């Protein structure tokens, strides 16, 4: 773990999500080859975007967090803005793709995202009846 990334655990996860409006999360494990290949790419992106929080969740040490997010394969990258997951994708992204995803997430209109999420939840709730 470098000074540009934060180790996320069940003890600091909620606080990190509450205190920061833009958090990237790398779900990984030490035994995972693609995770180790992705780590320097993630590190460089963290250095290039000092205004964002780059967190890492070791799925072996934090199985509850991995389970809570339904992580089935690693590495998985997730982006959370204003406590809403706006991106989640398994696989090690190349540097250009990671920068592109970060750029797209920065441009999101979070009022529209929240409105869309609320509509989806309302539809899901209505279909249960």
Is residue 32 annotated as a catalytic residue, yes or no?
Answer: yes
Element (H, E) at 123: helix 110-127
The Cα–Cα gap between 102 and 84 comes to 15
The residue from 25, 35, 65, 77 that is catalytic is 35
The residue from 32, 41, 77, 79 that is catalytic is 32
Phi/psi-derived region of residue 82, left when phi > 0, alpha when psi is between -120 and 50, beta in every other case: left
Is residue 119 annotated as a catalytic residue, yes or no?
Answer: no
Q: Say if residues 93 and 38 touch (Cβ distance below 8 Å).
A: yes
Euclidean distance between the first and the last CA atom of the chain, given in angstroms as a whole number:
48
Both tokens assigned to 45: 């992106």
**Residues with catalytic annotation?**
32, 35
């Amino acid at each position: 773990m470098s000074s540009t990334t934060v180790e996320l655990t069940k003890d600091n996860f909620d606080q990190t999500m509450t205190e920061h409006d833009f958090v990237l999360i790398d779900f990984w494990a030490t035994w995972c080859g693609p995770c180790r290949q992705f780590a320097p790419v993630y590190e460089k992106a963290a250095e290039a975007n000092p205004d964002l929080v780059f967190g890492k969740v070791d799925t072996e040490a934090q199985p509850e967090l991995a389970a809570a997010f339904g992580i089935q394969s690693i590495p998985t990258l997730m982006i959370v803005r204003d406590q809403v997951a706006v991106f989640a994708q398994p696989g090690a992204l190349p540097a250009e793709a990671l920068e592109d995803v970060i750029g797209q997430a920065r441009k999101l209109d979070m009022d529209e995202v929240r409105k869309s999420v609320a509509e989806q939840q309302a539809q899901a709730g209505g279909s249960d009846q």
